[in-house]
Amino acid sequence: MDIKLNFINLSNDVNNSQIVIFQKNVSTDFDELAVAWKVISNCGRGDNHPFVFPLLTTVTASDSDGNYMPQKVAQNGQMFSVSRAASGNVLAIAGASSSSREIQLRNDLRTGAISAGVFKDNRLLAKKTGIVPGQKAVFEFKPTLWIGTASQIEQGKVMNSAVISDINTELSLLGIARCDIVMTGGGGGTTAVPYQFRLANVVMG
């Protein structure tokens, strides 16, 4: 079931900050930075911004020849593979992954590295590049969203480590059907306080 979320700006923001929302791949062998899954821009004081965090997850892959493979619906516990078929390189499901909490994507080509991407709501959630033949990308996510303010962030792009380290609010969505995400804090000069994010009007699923 999709989770219906509604961001509400009740802050004293005077800088028109961007709000960035993302998930972290908690897989132990993951060494890439987080992707800005959703960026909310120009949401003024008192404004709200509804969006959906869908249950449905898809995976895709691209190869060293610059080919992009169609997205496939993926669930935790599934293994996908990029292999050479008569028509060229194809992405297909390849059985169960080694962990029920993970989506895995293996490079079964003889030559050439591939990249793997995970999408939610047609927006890039996480990526792994440079997967050489015989290796796999592993994706595991907790049912949480990270949220914070930033500037000059591009949706769907990898964020730098300084931005990620500044964002320390993790909101659990476990069991939630819909809720508001309320931002408070901000301001200018000596009265400025840190931004805070909290869930409100929570309806459990």
Query: Quick one: 73 and 131 in the same domain?
Result: yes
Query: Quick one: 24 and 64 in the same domain?
Result: no
Q: What is the pLDDT of residues 139-162, one digit of tens each?
A: 999 999 999 999 999 999 999 999
* Whole-number Å distance between alpha carbons of 81 and 118: 14
Q: What is the pLDDT of residues 99-111, one digit of tens each?
A: 999 999 999 999 9
Q: State how many domains the chain has.
A: 2
Going by their DSSP bridges, the two strands 103-107 and 78-85 should be labelled as: parallel
Query: Quick one: 31 and 78 in the same domain?
Result: no
Range of the domain at 133: 57-138
Query: Quick one: 10 and 106 in the same domain?
Result: no
* Whole-number Å distance between alpha carbons of 107 and 63: 10
Question: DSSP string covering 111-156, please?
Answer: S--EEEEEEETTEEEEEEEEE-TT-EEEE---SEEEEEEESS--TT
Of 108, 138, 168, at which residue does a domain stop? 138
CA-wise closest residue to 78 among 31, 140, 25: 140
CB contact at 8 A, 161 and 177: no
Of 99, 123, 138, at which residue does a domain stop? 138
Considering only CA atoms, give the Rg of the chain.
Answer: 19
Query: Quick one: 114 and 64 in the same domain?
Result: yes
* Whole-number Å distance between alpha carbons of 28 and 115: 18
Whether residue 72 has pLDDT greater than 90? yes
Query: Quick one: 21 and 87 in the same domain?
Result: no
Of 117, 138, 159, at which residue does a domain stop? 138
Q: What is the pLDDT of residues 73-125, one digit of tens each?
A: 999 999 999 999 999 999 999 999 999 999 999 999 999 999 999 999 999 99
Going by their DSSP bridges, the two strands 78-85 and 72-74 should be labelled as: unpaired
In the prediction, which pLDDT does 35 show? 97
Query: Quick one: 114 and 147 in the same domain?
Result: no
In the prediction, which pLDDT does 29 show? 67
pLDDT tier for residue 191 given thresholds of 50, 70 and 90: confident
Query: Quick one: 103 and 82 in the same domain?
Result: yes
Query: Quick one: 88 and 188 in the same domain?
Result: no
Mean pLDDT value across the chain = 95
pLDDT tier for residue 31 given thresholds of 50, 70 and 90: confident
Higher local confidence (pLDDT), 194 or 29: 194
* Whole-number Å distance between alpha carbons of 198 and 139: 27
Query: Quick one: 79 and 180 in the same domain?
Result: no
Query: Quick one: 61 and 134 in the same domain?
Result: yes
Query: Quick one: 50 and 66 in the same domain?
Result: no
